[in-house]
Amino acid sequence: MSTETQVHNRIHEAIADIRDELVALSLEMHADPELAMSEHRAVQRLTGALAAHGFEVQSGVGSLPTAFIGRAGMRGAKPRIAILMEYDALPGVGHACGHNLIATAGLGGALAARAGLGDALSGELLAVGTPGEEGAGGKVIMVEEGAFEGVDAAMMFHPGTHTWLVRHATASMHITMKFYGKAAHAAGSPEQGRNALNALIHTFVMIDGLRQHMPETARIHGIVTNGGAAPNIVPEYAEGAFLVRALTQDATQDLWQRVKACAEGAAAASGVRVEFEVGKTYAERKNNRVLANLFGKYLSETGETIEEPVLRGGTGSSDIGNVSLVLPAIHPYVAIAPDGVAGHSREFAEASRSERGQEAMLHVAESLAHAAADLFLHPELVEQAWESFRTTGADLPR
Ligand SMILES: [Zn+2]
Ligand SMILES: [Zn+2]
């Protein structure tokens, strides 16, 4: 039997060996949701499993305490293939984005790839924990701080309602707006007050006006996070959180300038001051076709039906975009819920702990492992992935 056949057979066996452990872990994380950048127990679970299965684990990467890297193979040797994990949940709705499945699919992929490759692990296999995808931009920070330097491929998956190897994603920016007014008795001396909440309300109204004159692909949405202290006090402080999204990082910056003008105009009209906290910009996504097809080959062998990609329509944003602009990366989707179930909904949270969710997670774990193994066994695939990276741009909706 060839080494290659042995490796792939061993990967299949390894997944069978760890499937109960992966399912249990994903259900544990689902029942114990942690918010962006506070995923301490998830990190303990994942790094514990990596260490128990022979990975050398670094907990905390750069400035991020809940990022981690598990290493196998020869330190610094090429190729360096990374399998990525996410594990943050959402406020109120828990694992409504299914990151518990992303975590255990990535974990299982890394464990099975290492077990399958054995001595044939010619480079370095990285199991990378990326925190705070929901708003905090963990991967953006990791890219900025050099965590992906020297890495040749980054692979992960996201649960969804379709099975797509490639998909576009809008760029996005998180903005916090802080309005500072002047408190006064709201009935006794309102003329002495300057109403910060009014400025925030006017900002929402002006953004709704702006919506008529922005590209269809753009999105602006926000919430009030502080609307004052009591109805009998003129609000001296109001705060809103917004997301501004457009096709590309540049288009997002342009749209943000227009949103900013809305807030500044509203603040001026209300006689209050406004400050902005500008979060990380999530980039548009460049899907590496060489890696996507490699992953897809193995995914279809697990019995998953891969649909033709649809590069139009509403999408979210992800910080994998920033990774995908600096090295070959994939972020395929595998359906765990029927079409029509919204991401970030309670229904999707249910799907993320369903039997179908577990089945998809295990299929992905195995496919990630086979794909990673091929990249070590066939260095020309890594070259092809880089060639594709150099010669193609981001996937923008048509
Ligand atoms: Zn999400
Ligand atoms: Zn997500």
Same domain for 62 and 17: yes
Distance, CA 36 to ligand 1 centroid (Å)?
11
CA–CA distance, 294 with 239 (Å, rounded to integer): 46
Q: Is residue 165 part of a domain?
A: yes
What's at 227, amino acid-wise? Answer: G
Distance, CA 95 to ligand 2 centroid (Å)?
9
Distance, CA 6 to ligand 2 centroid (Å)?
34
Question: Which residues have CB less than 5 Å away from ligand 2 (the ion)?
Answer: 97
CA–CA distance, 97 with 100 (Å, rounded to integer): 8
Distance, CA 133 to ligand 2 centroid (Å)?
7
- List CB contacts of 350: < 8 A, sequence separation 6 or more: none
Same domain for 319 and 181: no
Pairing of strands 64-73, 124-129: antiparallel
Same domain for 226 and 355: no
pLDDT of 1 above 90: no
Distance, CA 102 to ligand 2 centroid (Å)?
8
Helix (H, G, I), strand (E, B) or coil at 290: helix
Same domain for 230 and 374: no
Here the CATH number for the domain that contains residue 61 is 3.40.630.10
Here the CATH number for the domain that contains residue 203 is 3.30.70.360
Confidence of residue 365 (pLDDT cuts 50, 70, 90): very high
- What sign results for the dihedral spanned by CA atoms 19, 23, 28, 30? positive
Query: Containing domain of residue 55, as a range?
Result: 3-169+284-391
CA–CA distance, 44 with 142 (Å, rounded to integer): 19
Same domain for 80 and 21: yes
Same domain for 145 and 28: yes
Strand boundaries in the chain, DSSP class E = 56-61, 64-73, 80-85, 124-129, 153-155, 158-160, 171-180, 219-226, 237-246, 273-282, 329-330, 333-335
Same domain for 301 and 159: yes
Distance, CA 153 to ligand 1 centroid (Å)?
23
Q: What is the pLDDT of residues 65-118, one digit of tens each?
A: 999 999 999 998 999 999 999 999 999 999 999 999 999 999 999 999 999 999
Question: End of a domain among 252, 282, 312?
Answer: 282
Same domain for 146 and 8: yes
- List CB contacts of 49: < 8 A, sequence separation 6 or more: 21, 25, 107, 111
Q: What is the pLDDT of residues 198-219, one digit of tens each?
A: 999 999 999 999 999 999 899 9
- Give the number of the ligand closest to the Cα of residue 172: 1
Q: Is residue 18 part of a domain?
A: yes
Same domain for 182 and 88: no
Same domain for 45 and 158: yes
Average pLDDT of the residues of the chain: 97
Distance, CA 344 to ligand 1 centroid (Å)?
6
Q: Is residue 397 part of a domain?
A: no
Closest CA to 198 of 265, 133, 256, 145: 265
Q: Is residue 250 part of a domain?
A: yes
Q: What is the pLDDT of residue 76?
A: 87
Same domain for 153 and 8: yes
